[in-house]
Amino acid sequence: MIWLSTVPGKSATRARSPGSEHLADEAERSLAARRLAARVEAAARTDLPVLLEGETGTGKGRVARRLHDLGPSAAEPFLVLHCASLSEASIEAELFGREKPGLLEAAGRGTVFLDEVGDLPPTLQARIMGLIECSGFVREGEAALRPVAARLVASTHRDLRAEVRSGRVRPDFFFRIAAFPIRVPALRERREDLPALAGRLAGEAQRRLGREEVGISPAAVALLETGRWPGNLRQLGHALVRAAALAPDGVAIDAEHLDPELFVPEPELFAVPQAAGPVDGPVRGAADAAVERKPLRSAKAEFEAAYIAESLAEQRGNVSRTARLLGVSRVALHKKIVAYGLR
């Protein structure tokens, strides 16, 4: 079985986050994970505003917490504001305060994490620019500058450079908030880390459900490795919570506890069902349709062959680059290419 330690969850506004783990431990050996860890450690040695860029679900909140924990103010508050879910007035009140201090003052010398900063309107972009420039702000109705010692860390799943070109994001705001940019890789870019990640997330899921922490079987991990994971770590985590709920208490998560739809190619998963047309002969029931289904082994082999072929095409037939992308050795990939007749 594969074992793992806890993974912290997202922090609520004004709440301290639980303790965090290393971003790249010995089990997470991918180059992408090591580069991310090195860049976070370097950023922690500065006081520059940090912008975390990456797809939805890649764990940017966890990276922000790790950055805070590595800094000199780790004992100070780590406060989070989810910009995408609040109105402009609510964001302004939460950040700068009105009748009571806002997050910027409540954080002290800690960290204020602005989640999905790409959703901020231009007026708030201007206020945050002034905050960074002056290390403080003037609250509405006041004349004196309120000093701010907190560090700003922001995240976005958008391409802010494209947003700048389109005029939706001010270039001066971008250059200030992205003084130290860090790209958080997608799960497909660190596939060799999936066994370790699956182990940790499985353990957390079992604890979350009050189950005995018994880990996840190698067969389940092998099946997870065939998935595409467009939703990244968040999708993987949710899948393992469902699997932990389906598995009997005290039994490790196995392949049979994983949702079959996780391994259906995206175009088929999200396809709109076609309206039924005229049918010649008797209408077939669910039992008839089930008889025509392919065995799981055949379906998995077809999916794997198609996935390898697509990846090879993306890499223009370069087997070495494709092997690195898929997280397997060149020899193992070559054997599969021959077995599936892809060359």
pLDDT tens digits, one per residue of 198-211: 999 999 999 999 99
Residue 323, judged by CB atoms within 10 A of its CB (0-12, 13-18, 19+), counts as buried
In angstroms, rounded to a whole number, what is the distance separating the alpha carbons of residues 279 and 70? 65
Tokens of 56: 């939805």
Q: What is the H or E stretch that residue 303 is in?
A: helix 296-314
One-letter amino acid at 270 equals: F
Alpha helices in 135-229 (DSSP H): 160-166, 171-177, 194-208, 218-224
Q: What integer pLDDT is reported at residue 19 of this predicted model? A: 36
3-state secondary structure 206-252: HHHCCCCCCCECHHHHHHHCCCCCCCHHHHHHHHHHHHHHHCCCCCC
Q: At 241, phi and psi to the nearest 5?
A: -65, -45
Q: Is 0.75 topped by the overall pTM?
A: no
* Contact present, 51 and 160 (Cβ < 8 Å): yes
Q: What integer pLDDT is reported at residue 11 of this predicted model? A: 31
**Kind of pairing between the strands at 151-156 and 50-53:** parallel
Q: What integer pLDDT is reported at residue 293 of this predicted model? A: 56
Among all chains, which residue has been given the structure tokens 């912290």? 8
Structural domains for the chain: 31-185 (3.40.50.300), 191-266 (1.10.8.60), 295-339 (1.10.10)
Q: Using N-to-C axis directions, what is the helix angle for 319-326 and 296-314, rounded to 10°?
A: 120
Write out residues in the chain with pLDDT < 70, as ranges. 1-28, 264-299, 343
Q: What integer pLDDT is reported at residue 160 of this predicted model? A: 94
Q: What integer pLDDT is reported at residue 215 of this predicted model? A: 95
Q: What integer pLDDT is reported at residue 120 of this predicted model? A: 93
- What lies within 8 Å, CB to CB, of 45 at 6+ separation is none
Q: What integer pLDDT is reported at residue 76 of this predicted model? A: 97
Q: What integer pLDDT is reported at residue 278 of this predicted model? A: 47
